[in-house]
Structure 1
Amino acid sequence: MAWLILLLAGLLEIVWAVGLKYTAGFTKPWPSIITLSAMIASFVLLGHALRTLPLGVAYSVWVGIGVVGTVVFGAWLFDESLSLLKIVSILLILLGIVGLKLTS
């Protein structure tokens, strides 16, 4: 169950990271409310997952999900470039996440 909670926390990290782009420096109310809500929920869920999972593993997986998702959504929504090196790097991060899950 802790892994599922951690996954949800990581997905919410993607929401708030992408949401930051839409807040225009927190000058737009609705995007700001959604972003801050996702941020709080992500941290609360991470804290809940940390009751069971080791800190280093949980935090690394949480950040990894956020990084991978943010790069993918940045490319999709904002036309940010995806070079071969970026794709390989994302795959290495995913490999690290899987490795951390398998060793915990």
Structure 2
Amino acid sequence: MGWMNVILAVICELIWVTGLKYANAAWEWVFVAVALGLGTYFLIAAVNTLPVGTAYAVFVGMGSLGTILVEFFVFGIVPALTQIFFIVLLLTGVIGLKLLKE
């Protein structure tokens, strides 16, 4: 259940981070704030059962990757080749952490 909470925290992070750039109306900002609160809740729930360093590293890595993928697939912003290289490097580190620490 700990890793499911990390995934839910990442989904909430993708919502509020994207909302920081694109929210205009008051209800959109409320949605951003709710996503931020839920993301924090899920991350706290995750670190109750997982090592804090590993859970946070996976959370940050998946959030970074997810944010770039949202920009690419939803908003059509094409990442540079160097960004793709470092995304792959980041993802490799996240996978390595997940495999080493349970």
Assess same fold via TM > 0.5: yes
Q: Percent identity?
A: 37
Q: Distance in 2 between matches of 1:7 and 1:93?
A: 17
Aligned pair count reads: 101
Flag structure 2 segments of 5+ consecutive residues without an equivalent.
none
Q: Does structure 2 conserve the Cα–Cα contact (< 8 Å) formed by 1:20 and 1:35?
A: yes
Q: Distance in 2 between matches of 1:8 and 1:97?
A: 17
Q: Distance in 2 between matches of 1:61 and 1:91?
A: 14
Q: Distance in 1 between matches of 2:96 and 2:76?
A: 30
Regions of 4+ moved over 4 Å: none
Q: Does structure 2 conserve the Cα–Cα contact (< 8 Å) formed by 1:14 and 1:65?
A: no
Offset, 1:47: 0.2
Identify the match of residue 31 of structure 1 among 11, 28, 32: 28
Q: Distance in 2 between matches of 1:100 and 1:11?
A: 20
> Which secondary structure does the structure 2 equivalent of 1:52 belong to?
coil
Q: What's 2:46 paired with?
A: 49
Flag structure 1 segments of 5+ consecutive residues without an equivalent.
none
Q: What residue identity is the alignment partner of 1:35? A: V
Q: Distance in 2 between matches of 1:79 and 1:60?
A: 27
Offset, 1:54: 1.0
State the superposition RMSD in angstroms. 1.3
Q: What's 2:22 paired with?
A: 22
Q: What's 1:90 paired with?
A: 87
Q: What's 1:101 paired with?
A: 98
